[in-house]
Amino acid sequence: MAAGTAALMISDTLSGRLSAADKKLDPKMKGRINHSVCKWCFPDTSLEDLCKAGKELGLQSIELLTVIDFPLLQKYGLECGMVSGVPGGIPQGLNRMENHDKIVEFFEEHIPLVAASGFRIKNIICFSGNRDGMDEEEGLENCKKGLQRIMPLAEKHKVTVCMELLNSKVDHPDYMCDHTAWGAELAKSVGSESFKLLYDIYHMQIMEGDMIRTIRDNHQYIGHYHTAGVPGRNEIDESQEIYYPAVMRAIAETGFNGYVAQEFIPKGEDKLGALAAGIKLCDV
């Protein structure tokens, strides 16, 4: 009876954890989605171990790393789909003129290094910063001025600067670039193919929903995607409200050839199994 009950509990649902034997995905991925993962979500796994596992799971990139990590990634034939490290981080961004010099200096140093990596996709993250009482128009104009100082070098080296869309409701109170419309308006005003948005599906589901239509209408301004389950930033399974296969198909249908990065925090002990399940779910 116990064995029969246990068998009934095993289901092939979206959230089904892959056993150790199942973690190695079919190496022949569908090819419509390029898969990445954010290292910070796996703090107990060394970068080298994540590189080894990632190759088996079908990853092409491990990201939100700095240029010092490039040699290890290259050892395993992986890229860094989104380079991190911009000074000021999330709260102190480009919407404040007093932050521009140190941010521009960072990009002047790092753009040539990222360009020299040989990676197919060359992205560096940036942030708007928090409002702190600043109105939307002033913030947008200040971000535009800062980005226009960076664009000539980014264009020269074919590196893309991506501003992340984050929610200000749950995780990042007061963050300015918290709606796609604001980010798209900034991209239009900057007027360079070397500036795009990092569309975080988790964050934008919290802020505005209507993701498939929004992606279709604004895909030309989007250079990168992140995933996670809503609510809770956990696994992208049936316990949360986003149906990821439909979102991934919408992304693929726009002709997007950049990276989609898993950025969820695994809850269970089998963290790499959860990552494998997320990659498999998004490989539409």
137-138-142 Cα angle (round to 5):
120
Element (H, E) at 282: helix 271-282
Query: What pLDDT, on a 0 to 100 scale, did the predictor assign at position 29?
Result: 82
Active site residues: 164, 263
Query: What pLDDT, on a 0 to 100 scale, did the predictor assign at position 27?
Result: 55
In this prediction, residue 22 has a pLDDT band, given cuts at 50, 70 and 90, of: very low
Bridge partners of 222?
197
Nearest to 224 by CA among 118, 48, 79: 79
259-262: strand order across its sheet: 61-63, 34-38, 259-262, 222-227, 195-200, 160-164, 123-126
Q: pLDDT (tens digit, 9 = 90+) per residue, 231-243?
A: 999 999 988 999 9
Query: What pLDDT, on a 0 to 100 scale, did the predictor assign at position 23?
Result: 45
Q: pLDDT (tens digit, 9 = 90+) per residue, 76-98?
A: 999 999 999 999 999 999 999 99
Bridge partners of 38?
63
Position 71 pLDDT exceeds 80? yes
Q: Which residues are CB-neighbours of 203 under 8 A, at least 6 positions away?
A: 164, 165, 166, 167, 171, 178, 226
Please identify which residue in the block is written with the tokens 């795009």. 196
61-63 and 123-126 strand pairing: unpaired
Q: What domains appear along the chain, each with residue ranges and CATH number?
A: 28-282 (3.20.20.150)
Query: What pLDDT, on a 0 to 100 scale, did the predictor assign at position 179?
Result: 98
- Is 100 or 28 the better-scoring residue by pLDDT? 100
Q: pLDDT (tens digit, 9 = 90+) per residue, 151-210?
A: 999 999 999 999 999 999 999 999 999 999 999 999 999 999 999 999 999 999 999 999
Query: What pLDDT, on a 0 to 100 scale, did the predictor assign at position 259?
Result: 98
Average pLDDT over all residues of the chain = 91
Bridge partners of 35?
260
CB contact at 8 A, 263 and 42: no
Query: What pLDDT, on a 0 to 100 scale, did the predictor assign at position 3?
Result: 35
Phi–psi pair at 225, nearest 5 degrees? -135, 145
CB contact at 8 A, 58 and 25: yes
Query: What pLDDT, on a 0 to 100 scale, did the predictor assign at position 6?
Result: 30
Query: What pLDDT, on a 0 to 100 scale, did the predictor assign at position 2?
Result: 36
Q: For residue 12, which amino acid is it?
A: D
170-80-53 Cα angle (round to 5):
90
